[in-house]
Structure 1
């Protein structure tokens, strides 16, 4: 049973097991005193892992619950989310349609695009978010089956259902703290590309009774990802939990977490000197990094060492196999 299921035994919260938990935690080397790493890149049993797989544990059974056989989702041409959806969806009888928007191209994006093209996903590329939005109604109709529209999911799987994956992860962190595997963090640092990971963590930490604050390192300028928006997604997830029979009496505000776009660079996917320098620390950290998300989160920890409340827990989210 999931930790959420144990917390709310009467709630209707179906999930499917896609990875082994808990993911490992360890003290970081080279990131300053009292910094710990939780390697969520290790999560996932298939050909791709990382934080997106946690969201799919809840999204896949929801698609079946709704009688849908197709996932329709969006992202950049280097999307990790889209690849995870295609691979794990196929394992559970779901086809995946991807609406992809151009982003700055480097070797990482080229490699990821090749993986996407080999994943079995049905791919449609667009030059801008505006063009993708115009095409969205056509995509929904084009891939309808037996009177059912595809199950649409926002970028990163950051719907209230997908956000449950990181409510679950926060409860896992609380268990690891209780077991003495790490001290209770004052701050959890995570990259924020669509908001679901940060929202789920903030909500789950409150449910677990921890005082830890989430610091989200915003790496995407395609839509609003400030603390108000992330807290709003957390509250939509609270409403989902209530609708499914969980007794939850809390509401998050922008004061419950922090976000910063200081480390993003010019635009989504654009390299930064600090991020490139962080990539060079990957071997020392024993952590898989990539330039769009995780390197910028590491850069933020390195660059704000004197400002972060400690202990700090850095969430590693990149999961190639």
Structure 2
């Protein structure tokens, strides 16, 4: 069994921080809007033990990581619905402050300011570029996060392209949410096939497809093998539940590309139990030279954590 270090490359940002702060741009009250109640009827925040997921303070996050044997982690800032630009910038800055107080254990990925009026609106395509310039020197920033399905905008839409160019300039990879969403958001914007256009247009852009892309995981695997800077992040999936196509990629290769070099371990904590997920990953039947890059080496290289 693997006993080396682990980096969790996706912690669920909206559940981390001050539980009393209900004004944050990433926190939405599902209970008082009939539309959102419908959207969320297919998604539960209850764990396997039937207990509702609780907000986690930064101290609790670091303690849970230590118990799980996770040395470092990436906090994912995410916003599902339109929000004011100043609120998004404030939220992003708050995660820089969290990273700064973590003793180097935490880094974070910033969210873009979501499109306000959908694919037909192009009010200011440089707004996100200016925001990323302003955030670039904050402690621990290591990427940028987009959520196509709730935004209703596939990642190959022209709206994103200036931000992608800025990410290349700043050497920041993008995390793109892929796969059928749990809530009732449209599936098609999360189809990883759209990321092929992005990878072709921006060959130097790091692209991380998080949540693996089910039911299109085979497409994610082919994109990871096809494009040098394309990776798969296993957030929201317990290792025992990885689809066969992903498990086979980790233990083998596709067109000569070793899957273990193109996949990043993640949990989606606190929506998933980080200790249980890490323990299950340690027990995977992978050789040392395959499990180490998957659980630690790839993320250490991409995000600048200690090797």
Q: Scaled by the length of structure 1, what TM-score is found?
A: 0.34
TM-score by length of 2: 0.35
